[in-house]
Amino acid sequence: MSEQPNVASDRADPIQEERREFNSYVWGMGIALLLTLVPFALLHWFGLPRLPTLIIIGVFALVQILVHFRCFLHISFAHKREDLQLILFSALLLTIMVAGTIWIMASLALRMAMPPSV
């Protein structure tokens, strides 16, 4: 006589997985929102000098990148080749976008500069 698979336990695993994934998205959204609002609040209500403000914003941005990787992209920090390729490709796209934006804005600023008055 063959054994019948336990249907209830088969259904519980996908439901628990969906719940874990949903909780990951909710926690990620909350943490990302907090990591966005704190630098805005520091800038708005506390008159910190320029350099410490930029350092704080940079640190919060890096932490937010890690939160996005973990909570939204579900990249664990174990060494998997696919995860590394995803991170490197994302970094390449971001580098191209940032460098292109800076290049275009610098070119526009140069072209829009007023001629010196005589």
Q: Residues 35, 60: one domain?
A: yes
Q: How confident is the model at residue 91 (pLDDT cuts 50, 70, 90)?
A: confident
- Whole-number pLDDT of residue 61: 93
Prediction pTM value: 0.63
Q: Residues 53, 10: one domain?
A: yes
Q: Residues 19, 70: one domain?
A: yes
Q: Residues 86, 117: one domain?
A: yes
DSSP 83-117: HHHHHHHHHHHHHHHHHHHHHHHHHHHHHHPPPPP
Q: How confident is the model at residue 102 (pLDDT cuts 50, 70, 90)?
A: very high
Q: Residues 70, 100: one domain?
A: no
Q: Residues 60, 88: one domain?
A: no
Which class for 71: exposed (0-12), middle (13-18), buried (19 or more C-beta within 10 A)?
Answer: buried
Q: What are 2-60's pLDDT values in tens digits?
A: 555 555 555 668 888 888 888 989 999 999 999 999 999 988 888 888 898 899 999 99
Q: Residues 15, 51: one domain?
A: yes
Q: Which domain holds residue 91?
A: 78-118
The count of other CB atoms within 10 Å of the CB of residue 90 is 15
Which letter, b or e, does each residue of 42-60 get, where b requires 16 or more Cβ atoms within 10 Å of its Cβ? beeeeeeeeeeeeebeeeb
User: In the predicted model, what is the mean pLDDT of the chain?
Assistant: 84
Q: Residues 101, 69: one domain?
A: no
Q: Residues 60, 107: one domain?
A: no
Domains in the chain: how many in total?
Answer: 2
- Whole-number pLDDT of residue 99: 96
- Do 87 and 40 touch, CB atoms closer than 8 A? no
Q: Residues 6, 45: one domain?
A: yes
Q: Residues 15, 43: one domain?
A: yes
